[in-house]
Amino acid sequence: MKKAFSIAILLTMLLGSALPIHAQDDNLEVVASYSILADVVTQVGGDAITVTSMIPAGADSHTFEPTPGEVAQLAEADLVFINGAFFEEGLLETIENAGEDMNLLTVSTCVEVLAFGGEGHHHDEDGDHHDEDGDHDEDGDHDEDGDHDEDGDHDEDGDHDEDGDHDEDGDHDEDGDHDEDGDHDEDDHHDDEMSEMSNEQCAAHIDELGDMHMDDDHQDEDGEEGDHHEGETLGRLYAAECEGGHHHDEDEHHDDEDGEHSDEDSEEGEHDDHSHGSCDPHFWMNPQNVMFWTLYIRDALIEADPANAELYTANAAAYIETLEALDEELKALVATLPEENRVLVTNHDAFGYFADAYDFEVVGTVIAGLSTTNQPSAQDVAELIGVINEAGVSAIFAETTVSDDLAQQVASETGAEVLTLYSGSLSEDDTAATYVDYMRFNTQTIVNGLQ
């Protein structure tokens, strides 16, 4: 059943019948990297697939290490779905080493990426969370070398620069003539081909989602209707430049002709501090991003198992309706919270997409950065205490998978209450056993804690 992902599957997409559709006898064996993603895959695949979550519910994705038996399951899987943007950290190398023919698929390929450390996450002392014209710096560039500026380095066709300098393994020179392996031209051609395929797929998904798509208004040039993505964005994941030089199609590694999965693995191994780079990987904190996941998963399942195409199509359509209803439900819930109270202090920087979608401001985190493995200094803790006292924050939101000792320490100095959210994992009980329940629980807890 293993097939390289192809854009040709988009041509087969038709809405399925509303009548119940039964799966074929032979189930696809599917692995998802963590429990939240596993639930979404299950919603789309239904009874036609058997889904295993590599990182079980209740485990911290930043520190999890699989057993040899769990690694062996990967080698037998028809499809392996990952989040992307370095969320899986060191686990990705393990996944890729499990088998040369791994059909590795990045569900966030078409999601608009928020920059970690941009104005969508942490904010300056004067509280300028969202400036009126949406500019992120004086010249509108997103980084020092201007890779994400208005001159179109990340254009709609997915090309990253005018001469295609960047190859799969990140080696490039100014004129793009060669790399050390002598394979630069071939790699560039492959990169361009995969980027074009992803661009076409993402364009089809945007069109399919229509008015539900979170970026339609944001992409308006005058920004007048920009309800979402008030922070800095880096483009869609397949074309975004995350720190470390890997900025090609996120799932190009799963069907590389020579079987080498070079998109993220080398960089994952280099980041001993588990840094995610400049891209915030916590895409699922906005249900509209999970709509993109749903379409991507649907396409991949149909490509691998066309006999159950009607089932996957019908399930995806139904789940997108569920996600749209969830989004409206959460907006209504947040609307009960006064705007001046929509200020978050979280355990680590995992709620940027939630804040961006529902108009919160993240003023600080107990653990600096995107990973729970980072350790704050005494100065970091003292500064956070000052921020909380100055902003009058009433609650600090810890996580179920990480000790709340530091949060309790900060709370004792500020009088804030410590409440616990689910971040990178579903619950082991029924509290937040599905993605929909997870989002409801977290949002209700946040609203209750900040009233």
pLDDT tens digits for range 33-49:
999 999 999 999 999 99
* Tokens encoding 375: 């350790």
Measured distance CA(216)–CA(389) in Å, rounded: 38
Same domain, 9 and 106: yes
At residue 147, φ and ψ (nearest 5 deg) are -65, -30
Q: Rounded distance, CA 359 to CA 439, Å?
A: 16
Contact between 120 and 94 (Cβ < 8 Å):
no
Q: Is the pTM of this model over 0.85?
A: no
pLDDT above 50 for 216 = no
As to burial, measured by CB atoms within 10 angstroms (0-12 exposed, 13-18 middle, 19+ buried), residue 220 is exposed
Same domain, 173 and 322: yes
User: For 111, what's the count of Cα atoms within 13 Å in the CB-facing half-sphere?
Assistant: 32
d(CA 80, CA 264): 15
Within this chain, do residues 273 and 358 fall inside the same structural domain, yes or no? no
Structure confidence by residue, pLDDT tens digits, 159-180: 434 343 434 343 434 344 444 4
**Burial of 11 (C-beta count, 10 Å sphere; 0-12/13-18/19+):** exposed
**For residue 104, what is the domain's CATH number?**
3.40.50.1980
Residues 290 and 400 reside in one and the same domain:
no
Residue 391, φ and ψ in degrees, nearest 5 = -85, -10
What pLDDT score was predicted for residue 211?
Answer: 54
Q: 424: domain range? A: 327-450
Residue 6 pLDDT level (bands cut at 50, 70, 90) = very low
Residue with tokens 């990705």: 92
Give residues with Cβ within 8 angstroms of 445, minimum separation 6: 397, 419, 420, 421
- Asked if 300 and 44 count as a contact pair (C-beta separation under 8 A), the reply is no
331 plus 431 within the same structural domain: yes
Bridge partners of residue 79, in order along the sequence: 30
Domain end residue (candidates: 283, 303, 326): 326
* Tokens of residue 428, six digits: 């082991």
Both structure tokens of 266: 């080398």
Structure tokens of 220? 């308006």
pLDDT tens per residue, range 72-112: 889 899 999 999 998 987 787 888 788 778 899 999 999 99
Phi-psi region of 101 (alpha: psi -120 to 50; beta: other; left: phi over 0): alpha
